[in-house]
Amino acid sequence: MLPSLLAGLGLGFSLIVAIGAQNLFVLRQGIRREHLLAVVAVCALSDAVLILLGVSGIGLVLQAVPWLIIVVRWAGAAFLVGYGLLAARRALRPSGATLHLDAPASAPATPAGSATVLTRPARTTLTATVLTCLALTWLNPHVYLDTVFLLGSVASTHGDGRWAFAIGACAASLVWFSALGYGARYLGRWLDTPRAWRLLDAVIAVVMFALAISLVLPH
């Protein structure tokens, strides 16, 4: 069982450690220190569900309805364009608030010179954050191609060890999103100017637009 578990762990990391919409969102939330536990939980649990579906053989069922992936591809592209436009708007016309790096958004303003402050965009609600995270995860057709089809196919080659393979892949997802999100918190010290936040949002916008285009181009 151990070789299957390690194989799942290795393949899980190889598929998830890449620049993408979901990873960028986790990174941004980690830097903002905003609803991070919820974001990591949504990403890890979503991956676990998709991995288990793939290992259970549901990928074979989905292959019988190829139009479903086409629908997800266009819906995902539309969402990425919308999210990219919001990021571009923040980059061009920031609307931020000056907050303590370790203080909640509701904390009272601090007199100038009394402490280090961080200028960053206003906080979003937990509901909006979770819904955005779900959309970036479930409206990404590559999630189904990689997690459900590919992981499911490879897991089937492990016979009785396929569930150990699935556990390894799920562990890789949990470790990666936790490390990415909570590790990103330490980047906040370098993002202490409005210009830095605008640059980050500009990069996010470009990546989102590029990913959206890649989804709709002929494969």
Q: What is the pLDDT of residue 39?
A: 96
pLDDT at 94: 63
Return d(Cα 101, Cα 188) in angstroms, integer: 8
- Residues (pLDDT < 50) of the chain are 96-110, 112-119
Token pair for residue 115?
Answer: 């402490």
Direct distance between the N- and C-terminal alpha carbons of the chain, in angstroms, rounded to an integer? 37
Q: Specify the DSSP class assigned to residue 123.
A: P
- Structural contact between residues 80 and 212, judged by C-beta atoms closer than 8 angstroms: yes
- Which tokens in the block code for residue 45? 């649990």
CB contact at 8 A, 205 and 84: yes
Please tell me the predicted confidence (pLDDT) of residue 61. 63
pLDDT of residue 205: 87
Compute the Cα dihedral for 109, 111, 115, 119 and give only its sign: positive
Q: How far apart are CA 218 and CA 195, in angstroms?
A: 37
Q: pTM of this prediction? A: 0.72
